[in-house]
Structure 1
Amino acid sequence: MTVNDICQALERYTLPLMQTQAIATEPVTAEASGNQSAKLVLAYSGGVDSECLAYGLSLFAQKNPHIPCLLVHVHHGLSANADTWIEHCISQATKYQLPIQIERVNLTKAPRKSLEAIAREARYNVFKKYLNPSDILLTAHHQDDQLETLLLALKRGQGPKGLAAMGVIQPFNQHSWIVRPLLDVSKGQIESFAASVELKHIEDESNQDEQFDRNFLRQDIIPRLKQRWPSIAVTASRSANLCAQQQQVIEQEVNNRLPAFIDDSGAGHYSAFKLLELREQSTQWQSLLLRGYIQSQGFNLPSQSQLEQVLEQVLYAADDAKVDVHCGDYSIKRFAGKAYIVPAIKLAELAKDQKLITDKLVNFVTKPQSELISGDLFELQSSELPSSELISTEAGINRLKVNVVTDGVRLRLPNVEQVSVVFGAKGSTRCQPHFRDKGRELKKIWQELAVPPWIRSQIPLVFYNDNLVAAVGLWVDKRYLAKQQTLGFVFTS
C-alpha cells in the first residue's frame, strides 16, 4: 500500500457521491445545501489507522482543493494521555495542512451498556455536529476491524443485517454518508505503510485492556485464528459482503410488502400496524414485517427476545388483554386489531406543552368578536412546543390551526360562555359529534372512532361552560355548529 493507493481509494469512493449528490434516497439540491461544497470529515484519533488515512487525505486535498476537508478529534477524558494526544493531532494536522476541530465529551455510565458503546455513541454524536447534508464521514476501519465486527455479531446472535458488518459506503445521519476507504486493507498493510513513511502516531494504552470485547478479540482470538487460517480476514469479509447482499434483497421485499400492513387513516394522524393481515403471514414474515414497521417509524429495533414477546402478545393475547411491551424508549401497544408504537412520555414536559396549547387556544377563541374576521388564522407551530415530538408522535398534534370561516363544519363563536381547553375528560361526558344523529358518551365516541386509550388524553377538548363542544381535529358538537354564513372556528391538527 502507498499513499497514492489511499488517495485513489478516497477518490474512488467519495467523488461519485459528491458529484451526484445522491444522499440516502433523496437528492439534495444546491438550495438545500446552501450552495456549499460537500466536505469530507475524518474521524481522527491519531492512532496508526486514522493517521494513515489523514496522511492520504492530505494528498487528496492537494489534488482536489475545491473539496473542503476537516479532521475531528474527540477527547474522551478516559486516559491520562488524552491531552498529549490533542497536541499530537494538532501538530500533525498542521503538517498535513488540514483544519482540525477538537471536541471534549463527558461519558456517563449507563446500565446494560458497555463503556465501549457509550464512548462510540459519544464520538458519533460529535461527528454528526459537523456533517451537513451531502457531507461524508471518513473512518479508518480496516479488514481486521471487519473481522472483529463479524465475530461480535456472531457472539450477539445477530442475523444477516448484523453479519453484514460494515460497508465501504453506507448512508449516515439521514442525508450524509459514511465511507471506509481502508476496509479492504489489512492491519499489517497499514502498519507497514506507516513504518515505510516514518509516520508518527499515538498508542492508546486502553487497546491492550482485554476487558473490552474488541481488544480481547484483537489481542487473543484473531491472532490465533490467523495462525491457523491466514486468510480468514479476507474470507470473513467475503461472507459479510454476501450477507449484505442478502439483507439488501430482504429489505427491498419488506419495503414492497410493508405499505399493505400500515394504516394511516386513524384519528390524530398516527399510523397503526394491521394485525389481522399479519396473522395470515408465515412466522418468518411476521418477524420481518414487524421489524420493518418499527424501523419505518424511526425507532430502534428491540432484541430478538423482545420481538418474539411482542409478536406473541399482539397476535395471540386475549382480545380484552392490555398489551404493553416496553422496548427501551418506547412501548408497543395493541388496540382494535392494530399495534401502535408509543414513545416514552416525560410527563412534566408533556404538561408544559398542554398548558401552552391551552393558553394560546383559549386566548384566540375568546378574542372579542369585533376583532374576528373571515380568514383569520391562529397557528401553533411545532417549534413552539418544547417536546412537540412527544405530542406529534402520539396524537399527531405537531401543528395546531384554528381558522375563522363562514362555511363548512365549524364551531360557533362563544356567547358569553366561559371557554376552556382540557386534555382528558370523563368517559361519561356526553356530546353529539356533527356526524351523528344522537348524542353519546365520550368513551363510546372514542371507541367508534378507534382512538386508542393512550391517545385520548392527548387530544385537546374545547368546552363552553361545562359542555364539550369540540375535539380538535375530530368533531364539533352538532348543537354548537355555526349557522348560515356566520363566523365559526375550524380546528385542525
Structure 2
Amino acid sequence: MAIVIETVADVLARAGIGPGDRLLVGYSGGVDSTVLLHALAQLRGRFSFELLAHHVHHGLSPNADAWSAHCEAACRAIAVPCTVTRVALSRTGEGLEAAARAARHRAWAASEANWWVTAHHQGDQTETVLFRLLRGAGVAGAAAMAPVVCVPGQPGRLRPLLDVPRACLVEAARASGLGWVEDESNTDTRYSRNFLRQEILPHLRSRFPGMDAAFGRAASHFAEAAQMLDELAQIDLEQCGERPIARPVFLALSPSRKANLLRHLLRKMSSRMPDESMTTEVLRQVTHTHADRSLTLRLGDVVLHAYRNHLWLTPSLPSVPDAVERWSGESLLTWGEGEVCMKRVVGMGLDAALIEQGVLSVRRRWPGCAMRMRNRPLKAFKQLAQEAGVPPVERDRLPVVCLDGQPIWIARIGESQQALCPAGQAGVVFEWVRPDIYCDVID
C-alpha cells in the first residue's frame, strides 16, 4: 500500500493540491476506487485537503442497494463524508456505458468539489487507447487519459493510478485487509470494453508482457503530438483571427491545417468531434462555396457559419419568438440567445415621448418589412441587412422593435428616421445584448 500511496502523492503534488482544495472520489466500491479512497484518506494530513466520496446508484444490478450500503459503511470507518445519488439510465443514444458515465458526471457536478478523482489504472489506459484506435481516433483521442487535467471554470480531474497495474491494487487491498464489491456486469462481454478486457487483452498480454507499459508510453507520445498540433492550430488561429475567422486566410492553409484548426476550435467549445467524412464535407463546402452565399453547417452540437469573408462558430442557436411580443417598457426583454435592452438617455436614440404615446412591440421581420433610416430613403429589410453585412442566417433572428406596428429599430441595422430623438429631449436607446460566443461577426 505504501507504494500506491506515494504514487498518489506524486500526482497530488504535481497538481498543486493543498489547503482549501476539496477532492471528490468517484467511489464505486470496487477494488480500484477502494484502494484510491484509502490512499487519499491517509494523505489528508500531508496535503491538508478535504476529502469527499460519491457513490452513484445506477439501479442496474440487484446488488445495487448492498453496494451503496457497503460504500457508506466503508466511508464512515475512515471519516470520509459519502453521498449516494440514485440515477435512472436510458438505454438509448450512445449506449448504456456512456449514459452511466454521463449520469456520474452530472451527479458529481452537484457537489462543491474543485477536483474529481477517479481510480483509472494502467489497464484502463490500455483499454482506452485500444478502444479509441479501433474507432479511428486521431492523436488527441489516442492520447487517452491524463493524470492531471485542468479546465478553466470546471473542476479539475485527477487520475493518480494511471501508472499502477491493477494487480498491484488488488495486492495492496488484500495486504491492507480492505473489503470491496464485485460488479457482475464487468464480465458481460456484450459491452465493448468488457469484450476487450475479457477476450482480447489477456491473449495480448500473454504474448507481450510489457504491453500495458508500452500503451502508456504510446499514450504519452500521442499526447505530446496532440499538444504540438494544438500549438500549430493556435498559431494559425492568430493569423486568421478568432472572432470572426478571416475566410481568405483560412482558405490559404493546407487541407490538413484547416482540419486541424477546425478540430481545435471545436475542442475549445467542448464539442464532440465530428467524424472524418463530416469534417471533409464541411471543409469542401467552405472552400468551394462562393463567398456571397451564406453557409450554415451543423457539426454535432456546434454550427459553423460562413458569409462573405468571415467564418465563425456558435452553439446550436436557440429559437426566437414567432409571434409579436408586446413590450410594456421594461428595461429587458428576452429574445433568442440574448436580451433586448432599453436604456433611457438624453438627446440621442429615439424619441421617448413618442414611444410612450404608442404601443411598443418586438417581432421578427415579416414580408414587406421596411424602414427609413437617418438621411436615407425607405428600404426593404433585406436590402438594409445586406448593406449592414448581416448574414442571411442571422436575419430571421434579429429583433425588430415596432411602434404602433411600424419598425423603429432593427438590431445590427439601426434606427428609424421618423422616430429620432430631438436635440436635448428624453431619448431611448435599444440594444440586443448576446453572450460573446454568439457575437463573432463584426457589425
TM-score by length of structure 1 reads 0.81
Letter of the 1:49 counterpart: D
Contact 2:263 2:273 in 1 (8 A): yes
The reply to whether residue 471 of structure 1 matches residue 410 of structure 2 is yes
Supply the distance in 2 between the matched residues of 1:469 and 1:416 (Cα, whole angstroms): 13
The reply to whether residue 68 of structure 1 matches residue 50 of structure 2 is yes
1:133-159 deviation digits (Å, cap 9, x = unpaired): xx2111111111110000011101111
Supply the distance in 2 between the matched residues of 1:80 and 1:316 (Cα, whole angstroms): 57
Contact 1:76 1:82 in 2 (8 A): yes
Q: 1:85 aligns with which of 67, 70, 82?
A: 67
Supply the distance in 1 between the matched residues of 2:194 and 2:228 (Cα, whole angstroms): 33
Letter of the 2:83 counterpart: Q
Letter of the 2:170 counterpart: E
Letter of the 2:378 counterpart: G
Partner of 2:5: 7
Greater alpha carbon shift after TM alignment, 421-430 vs 182-191? 421-430
The reply to whether residue 481 of structure 1 matches residue 423 of structure 2 is no
- Equivalent residues in 2 for 1:449-468, closer than 5 Å: 449-468=388-407
**Deviation for aligned residue 1:489:** 0.5
Supply the distance in 2 between the matched residues of 1:148 and 1:298 (Cα, whole angstroms): 23
Supply the distance in 2 between the matched residues of 1:414 and 1:299 (Cα, whole angstroms): 47
Supply the distance in 2 between the matched residues of 1:309 and 1:120 (Cα, whole angstroms): 31
**Deviation for aligned residue 1:238:** 0.5
Supply the distance in 2 between the matched residues of 1:208 and 1:173 (Cα, whole angstroms): 37
Supply the distance in 2 between the matched residues of 1:221 and 1:104 (Cα, whole angstroms): 33
Q: 1:405 aligns with which of 345, 360, 384?
A: 345
Supply the distance in 1 between the matched residues of 2:103 and 2:382 (Cα, whole angstroms): 46
1:167-205 deviation digits (Å, cap 9, x = unpaired): 110125733211111111111111122222232111100
Supply the distance in 2 between the matched residues of 1:195 and 1:263 (Cα, whole angstroms): 54
Supply the distance in 1 between the matched residues of 2:151 and 2:193 (Cα, whole angstroms): 23
Supply the distance in 1 between the matched residues of 2:355 and 2:387 (Cα, whole angstroms): 30
Letter of the 1:291 counterpart: R
- Equivalent residues in 2 for 1:183-332, closer than 5 Å: 183-262=162-241, 264=243, 272-317=244-289, 323-332=295-304
Contact 2:271 2:300 in 1 (8 A): no
**Deviation for aligned residue 1:341:** 3.6
Partner of 1:419: 359
The reply to whether residue 47 of structure 1 matches residue 45 of structure 2 is no
Supply the distance in 2 between the matched residues of 1:156 and 1:487 (Cα, whole angstroms): 64
Supply the distance in 1 between the matched residues of 2:353 and 2:134 (Cα, whole angstroms): 65
Supply the distance in 1 between the matched residues of 2:174 and 2:96 (Cα, whole angstroms): 31
The reply to whether residue 127 of structure 1 matches residue 108 of structure 2 is yes
Partner of 1:269: none
Supply the distance in 1 between the matched residues of 2:263 and 2:363 (Cα, whole angstroms): 32
Supply the distance in 2 between the matched residues of 1:406 and 1:324 (Cα, whole angstroms): 40
**Deviation for aligned residue 1:259:** 3.8
Specify whether residues 321 and 473 from structure 1 end up closer, same or farther in structure 2 by C-alpha distance, changes over 3 A only: closer
Give the match's secondary structure for 1:94. Answer: helix
The reply to whether residue 442 of structure 1 matches residue 381 of structure 2 is yes
**Deviation for aligned residue 1:127:** 1.4
**Deviation for aligned residue 1:128:** 1.7
Supply the distance in 2 between the matched residues of 1:241 and 1:126 (Cα, whole angstroms): 30
**Identical aligned pairs, as a percentage?**
26
Cα RMSD of the aligned pairs, angstroms, is 2.6
Contact 2:332 2:342 in 1 (8 A): yes
The reply to whether residue 364 of structure 1 matches residue 322 of structure 2 is no
**Deviation for aligned residue 1:232:** 0.8
Letter of the 1:225 counterpart: L
Partner of 1:351: 321
Greater alpha carbon shift after TM alignment, 399-408 vs 216-225? 399-408
Supply the distance in 2 between the matched residues of 1:415 and 1:235 (Cα, whole angstroms): 73
Structure 2 residue runs of 5 or longer lacking an equivalent are 434-443
Specify whether residues 283 and 333 from structure 1 end up closer, same or farther in structure 2 by C-alpha distance, changes over 3 A only: same
Supply the distance in 2 between the matched residues of 1:167 and 1:16 (Cα, whole angstroms): 12
The reply to whether residue 96 of structure 1 matches residue 68 of structure 2 is no
Supply the distance in 2 between the matched residues of 1:480 and 1:298 (Cα, whole angstroms): 44
Letter of the 1:189 counterpart: C
Structure 1 residue runs of 5 or longer lacking an equivalent are 21-35, 265-271, 366-377
Specify whether residues 309 and 413 from structure 1 end up closer, same or farther in structure 2 by C-alpha distance, changes over 3 A only: farther
Supply the distance in 2 between the matched residues of 1:345 and 1:415 (Cα, whole angstroms): 31
Supply the distance in 1 between the matched residues of 2:356 and 2:28 (Cα, whole angstroms): 68
**Deviation for aligned residue 1:343:** 4.0
**Deviation for aligned residue 1:234:** 0.4
**Deviation for aligned residue 1:464:** 2.1
**Deviation for aligned residue 1:60:** 1.4
Letter of the 2:342 counterpart: V
Supply the distance in 2 between the matched residues of 1:207 and 1:49 (Cα, whole angstroms): 13
Partner of 2:123: 144
The reply to whether residue 430 of structure 1 matches residue 370 of structure 2 is yes
Specify whether residues 280 and 235 from structure 1 end up closer, same or farther in structure 2 by C-alpha distance, changes over 3 A only: same
Supply the distance in 1 between the matched residues of 2:321 and 2:364 (Cα, whole angstroms): 12
Letter of the 1:164 counterpart: A
Supply the distance in 2 between the matched residues of 1:455 and 1:331 (Cα, whole angstroms): 13
Contact 1:273 1:293 in 2 (8 A): no
TM-score by length of structure 2 reads 0.89
Give the match's secondary structure for 1:469. Answer: strand
- Equivalent residues in 2 for 1:382-393, closer than 5 Å: 391-392=336-337
Aligned residue pairs total 432
